[in-house]
Structure formats: structure tokens, C-alpha cells
Amino acid sequence: MKKQIIAGALALSTVIAIPAAMAKVAAPVAKAATKEKVSISGAWVRPSMMGKDMTAGYMKIKVTGTSDTLTKVAVPMSIGMAELHETVMVDGSMGMREVKQIVVAKGATLVLKPGGYHIMLMGLKSPITVGQKVPITLTFKKMGAVKVTATAVE
Amino acid sequence: MRIVNRVVRGVLTAVAVVGAVLTLQACGGTDGPTGLKGFVPESANDVGGISLPDIGPVGKGSERPLTAAPGDLLLVYFGYTSCPDVCPTTLGDIRSAIRRLPAKDRQRVEVAMATVDPTRDTAAVLRGYVGHFFSLWRAYRTTDPAALMAAEDAFGASSSVTRAKGGGQEVMHSAFTYVVDDQGHQLVSWPFGMRSKDMAADLRTLLSSNQGAQQ
């Protein structure tokens, strides 16, 4: 079992290919004049499954200029609600927990990916289908709100 | 410059060696005698005596053993449909692995998902979910916790469903995929995050060694 746990941890740390998805990043809404900068790439969400009102979204968030803290994720109410979650492994078992904030060091890239941090989308008002654009707002302590559009890909 | 290069190369070699050792330890003999990429059980793990109700298109609710059809392979995954991250990632990877196989081999691989959350995974929900991913599939669903636990124990899997503060459910589950033959032998298991091309390599190896049994 110990071996399996080690492997699980290794598997978690391996790079999981993120489908090429178009991500349009708008400039920070607030404090645009400051030195802080974030660039978001590869934003995608998994289409929701039939009969399920939930899914997950992923992206890479590079923070330059200063460290910052991601404190909130949101989607329009017409879509549903969003929370920042993390998949964790405890004694060889995997589960999810909500994360209140994630500190990103200056110059670091926060990777939201399957098996790790992700944006949990729930209470979906209608199914998310392949090709659909999902606007997501990320709120940072210093930078304020940053908008990104994620595309639903299989 | 040359010295620097040598130092860099030395460090890289050391890193590579450590990495290789870790990989070997982790996978219980990756590329060892079996050539399999996943974990090979240290002792024969027989799940042939285990059966659960299969609500899939073939089982239609009848008890079926968790073994493959003659000469084929059955991939068994214990999961739940309200799992937005780990389960669809794994099932998607399995689907990609099967698509990498030649057409004739694809017909020899069936995927079974056993739900660890039968309360929320009603028959209709579970059927829709598993059927979304695969063309050859089974969906095991029992409402008897003891039967589920006995099946999990046989595979070396585990799960728990607890009520969360907000009223929702919190589910923990081992996220391995188990490859089983027609005799109920657990041949190899794949951890979460296993690449689909490695899964496909294992399937090719196992299907070719099982060729005799098929004919």
C-alpha cells in the first residue's frame, strides 16, 4: 500500500496534458495601474455529464510583479455557482475539499489541473456542453477581479 | 565552462538516477519482467468469487461476477458520478487508452464502474454516466454496504461517504483502476494520473498474452 501511496503522489505531480483551449483574458477590472499582473492560459471546463449539475474547470495562472492570493472564484448566477476546491489523497483515498485561498508567489504559476486544485462548478442551471464559453471571475487580494473565459472541451 | 557542464551533467545524472529509482519503487517494477506500466500485485489477487448487481445493458440488474468475458479483459473502477474531477478524468483516460487499441482489441476490453455512492447514483444516473464514456460497459450498483465493502476488500479498494456540514456528501475513495481477466485474476492496477498511452501499452501486453485463451 505504501508503494501505491508513493505512486499516487508521483502521479499527482506529473504534468497532465491540458487540452488546448482558447482563453481570453481581460485586463484586471480594478487597480489596473498597479504593477501587479496576472496572465491566465489554457482555461477549460469539462462538459457536465447527463443528469449531473456539476463539473470542474482548470487553468494556469501566472502571477508576475508581486505575490498575490487567489481568494474567490465565481461564475454568473445564470450558470450556477463556483468554489475553489482541491483534490487530496489521504491514506490512499482521494477526496475533495474546499480551499479558502491560494497564495501565489511572485513569478510562480498556479496550475489548476485534474487531481489537484480546480474550480468546482455546481448547481448548474443547465448542462455545460462542448464548445460552450464559461465566463469565470477570479478575485485576488491585490489585483482584484480578473475575468477569464473558459471553453468546454472533452 | 567545461567544468560547469560536467557539474551540470553530474547533477542531471544524479537526478535521473533518483527519478528512475523512485519510479521503479513506485510502480513495483516498471518495465520489469512483466513489462507492465501499472502495479502488479505481489501475490495473486483473486476477485473471481465476487459478484454484484450489474445494471448495465447486459446485466440488467442481475448479479454478475466482476470477471471478464472469456479471453477478454475487464477494467474495474470504484467511483461515483458526483465526482467532478478525479472520476471523469480517469474514465476519460481509460476511454482514450481503449481508442488507442486496434479495432479488434477494442472489442475485448469492457469497463465496469461500481458506484461507491448508491444513494445519489440511482440506476438511471449511473447508466447514463458510464454509458457516456464507453460502448462496452457494466455498471455495478448495490445498496447493501456489506456487499460493496466485500467487493472493495477483494480488490484492495476502499471508500467512505459521510454527510458534510453544508448538507452535502463527502466522498473519499481509492481511485485505482483494476484490470481483471476471465478467471478473476487481478493482473495490474493503475493509479490515478496514469497516462492513457501507458494504460494502452498494458492492455496490448495483456491482450497478446491472453490470445491463447481467446481461441
Q: What percent of chain B has pLDDT over 70?
A: 82
Contacts of B39 in chain A (CB under 8 A): 3-4, 7
Residues 6+ positions from A125 with CB-CB distance below 8 Å = A78, A79, A80
Query: What pLDDT, on a 0 to 100 scale, did the predictor assign at position B19?
Result: 42
Using 70 as the pLDDT threshold, list the residues of chain A that sit under it.
1-36
Query: What pLDDT, on a 0 to 100 scale, did the predictor assign at position B211?
Result: 58
For residue B201, what is the enclosing H or E element? helix B196-209
Residues 6+ positions from B189 with CB-CB distance below 8 Å = B38, B39, B41, B156, B176, B177, B178, B179
Three cell numbers, residue B57: 445493458
B113 touches B77 (CB < 8 A): yes
Mutate to test the interface with B, among A52, A73, A83, A121 (most CBs of B within 10 A): A52
Instruction: Give CA–CA dist B109/B68, Å, rounded.
Output: 8
Query: What pLDDT, on a 0 to 100 scale, did the predictor assign at position A25?
Result: 53
Contacts of B124 in chain A (CB under 8 A): 51
Rounded to 5°, angle at Cα A20 from A18 and A21 = 105
For B151-176, what is the mean pLDDT?
89
Rg (CA), chain A: 16
Residue B6, CB-side half-sphere exposure with 13 Å CA sphere: 3
Location of C-alpha cell 454496504 = B145
Nearest to B81 among A3, A49, A121 (CB): A49
Q: Where are the beta strands (DSSP E) in chain A?
A: 24-25, 37-45, 54-64, 68-74, 81-90, 93-98, 102-104, 109-112, 117-122, 133-140, 144-152
Decide if B158 and A93 are in contact by the 8 Å CB cutoff. Answer: yes
Decide if A7 and B176 are in contact by the 8 Å CB cutoff. Answer: no
With 70 as the cut, is the pLDDT of residue B3 above it? no
Query: What pLDDT, on a 0 to 100 scale, did the predictor assign at position A104?
Result: 96
Which of the pair, B166 or B156, is modelled with greater confidence?
A: B156
Instruction: Give CA–CA dist B70/B181, Å, rounded.
Output: 8
pLDDT in tens, B77-126: 999 999 999 999 999 999 999 999 999 999 999 999 999 999 999 999 99
Q: Where are the domains of chain B?
A: 1-30, 31-214
- B130 — contact with chain A (CB < 8 Å)? no
- Written as one letter, the residue type at B132 is H
Can you tell me whether residue A99 is helix, strand or coil?
coil
Q: Give the CATH architecture of domain B31-214.
A: 3-Layer(aba) Sandwich (3.40)
Domain spanning A2-152: CATH superfamily: PCu(A)C copper chaperone (2.60.40.1890)
Instruction: Give CA–CA dist A123/A75, Å, rounded.
Output: 11
Q: How far is CA B74 from the centre of its chain?
A: 9
Mutate to test the interface with A, among B25, B85, B89 (most CBs of A within 10 A): B85
Query: What pLDDT, on a 0 to 100 scale, did the predictor assign at position B14?
Result: 43
With 90 as the cut, is the pLDDT of residue B16 above it? no
Three cell numbers, residue B28: 513495483
For residue A96, what is the enclosing H or E element? strand A93-98
pLDDT in tens, A118-140: 999 999 999 999 999 999 999 99
Decide if A95 and B172 are in contact by the 8 Å CB cutoff. Answer: yes
Nearest to B27 among A1, A7, A122 (CB): A7
pLDDT band with cut points at 50, 70 and 90 for residue B163 = confident
User: How high is the mean pLDDT of chain B?
Assistant: 86
CA-based end-to-end distance of chain B: 62
